Structure 1
Amino acid sequence: MRICAISSHSCGFRALFWCVFLVGFLPPSGAAALEPEAELRETRDAIQDLERSQEERQAALQELEGLLADAARGTEASRRELRELAQARSRQETVVADQEDRVEAARERLEDERRAAARLVRDQWQRERHPGRIDGQSGGGRHQAVFAARIRDAREEALEVLRDRIEALETARENLERERAVLAEQEEQARAAVADLEREEARQRQAMAELEVAIEDESLELERLQRNAETLEAVIEEVEARSAARAEAPDDSAPAQPDVAFSELEGELPRPADGRVVRSFNDSRGSRLRSRWRGTVLDVENGAAVRAVHYGRVVYADWMQGYGFLVIVDHGERYLTLYSNVEEILVAEGDRVGAGEQMAVAGEGSEAIAPGLYFEIRHNGGPLNPEGWWPSQ
Structure 2
Amino acid sequence: MRDMIKHLNQTIHASALCTGVFLCLSFSASSVASGQNLLDGVKQEISRQQNQLDNRQQKFDSLQKELKQQELGISQTAKKIHLADNQLSMLKTSIAQLEREQKKLEQLQLGQQEMLKELLNAQYRQGKNSQLSNLLSGEQSNELDRMTVYAERLSQARSQALNQLAATDTELQLKYHQLKQQREQQQIVLAQLNTEKSALESKQTTRKKTLKSIKGQISSSNQYLNELQNNEKRLVTEIAKAKAAAEAAAKAAANKAPMDGLARHKRKLPWPVKGSVLHSYGTTQQGELRWKGMVIAQSSGSQVKSIYSGKVVFADWLRGYGLMMVIDHGKGDMSFYGYNQTLLKKVGDNVRANEPIALVGDSGGQERSALYFEIRRKGAPTNPKSWLIK
Could you tell me the TM-score, scaled by structure 1's length? 0.71
Q: Is the counterpart of residue 383 in structure 1 residue 384 in structure 2?
A: no
How many percent identity over aligned positions? 20
Contact 1:266 1:388 survives alignment (8 Å): yes
Contact 1:275 1:298 in 2 (8 A): yes
Q: Could you tell me which of 98, 119, 122 is aligned with 2:122?
A: 119
CA displacement at 1:331 relative to structure 2:
1.9
Residue identity opposite 1:281 in structure 2 = Y
Q: Compute the displacement of 1:353 (Å).
A: 3.8
Query: Which deviates more, 52-61 or 231-240?
Result: 52-61
How far the C-alpha of 1:183 sits from its partner, in A, is: 1.1
Q: Secondary structure at the match of 1:138?
A: coil
Matching residue of 1:322: 320
Q: Deviations over 1:221-256 (max 9, x none)?
A: 5565455444433332221112222444562x7355
Structure 1 residues 250, 360: closer, same or farther in 2, change over 3 A?
Answer: closer
RMSD across aligned C-alpha pairs, in angstroms? 4.3
Deviation digits for residues 134-175 of structure 1, max 9, x if unmatched? Answer: 6547248x976x688667755654553354234313312320
| Partner of residue 245, structure 1 | 248
Residues 1:231 and 1:186: Cα distance change in structure 2 (over 3 Å)? farther
- For residue 160 of structure 1, what is the aligned residue in structure 2? 159
211-220 or 74-83: bigger deviation: 211-220
1:33-44 matches, within 5 Å, as none
Q: Are the structure 2 counterparts of residues 133 and 271 from structure 1 closer, same or farther at C-alpha, using a change threshold of 3 Å? A: closer
Q: 1:178 maps to what in 2?
A: 177
Count of paired positions:
356
Map of 1:337 onto structure 2:
335
Partner of 2:10: none
User: Which segments of 5 or more consecutive residues in structure 1 lack a partner in the other structure?
Assistant: 1-22, 29-33
Task: Give, in whole Å, the separation in 1 of the partners of 2:191 and 2:177.
Answer: 21
Unaligned runs of 5+ in 2: 1-28
SS in 1 for 2:94: helix
Matched, 1:295 2:293: yes
**CA distance in 2 between partners of 1:43 and 1:322 (Å):** 30
Query: Do the aligned partners of residues 114 and 348 (structure 1) sit closer, same or farther apart at CA in structure 2, a change above 3 Å counting?
Result: farther
Structure showing greater radius of gyration is 2
The aligned residue for residue 21 of structure 2 is none
Partner amino acid, structure 2, of 1:316: F
1:15 is aligned to none
> Partner residue of 2:68?
65
Give 1:370 deviation, angstroms: 7.0
Query: Which of 363, 370, 373 is equivalent to 2:371?
Result: 373
Give the distance between the partners of 1:51 and 1:303, measured in 2 at CA: 38
Is the aligned partner of 1:359 residue 2:359?
no
Mapping of 1:217-296 within 5 angstroms?
A: 217-218=217-218, 225=228, 228-249=231-252, 251=254, 254=256, 257=259, 261-263=261-263, 265=265, 271-286=271-286, 292-296=290-294
- Any conservation in 2 of the 1:326–1:340 contact (CA below 8 Å)? yes
**Structure 1 residues 271 and 158: CA distance shift in structure 2, 3 A:** closer
Work out whether residues 325 and 338 of structure 2, in 8 Å CA contact, stay in contact via their aligned partners in 1. yes
Give the superposition deviation at 1:49.
Answer: 5.8
TM-score, normalisation: structure 2: 0.72
Distance 2:278 2:148 in 1: 91
Alpha-carbon contact 1:72-1:204 (below 8 Å) kept: no
Shift of 1:184: 1.1
8 A Cα contact 1:285 1:292, kept in partner: yes
Counterpart Cα distance in 2 of 1:207 and 1:100: 50
Supply the AA of the counterpart residue of 2:376: R
Residue 177 to residue 189, structure 1, CA distance change in 2 (3 Å): same
Q: Give the direction of change, closer, same or farther, for the CA distance of 1:65–1:366 in structure 2 (3 Å limit).
A: closer
Alignment partner for residue 100 of structure 2, among 77, 97, 117?
97
CA spacing shift, 1:147–1:133, aligned 2, 3 Å = same
Amino acid corresponding to residue 333 of structure 2 in structure 1: Y
Alpha carbons 1:93, 1:183 under 8 Å: kept: no
SS in 1 for 2:348: coil
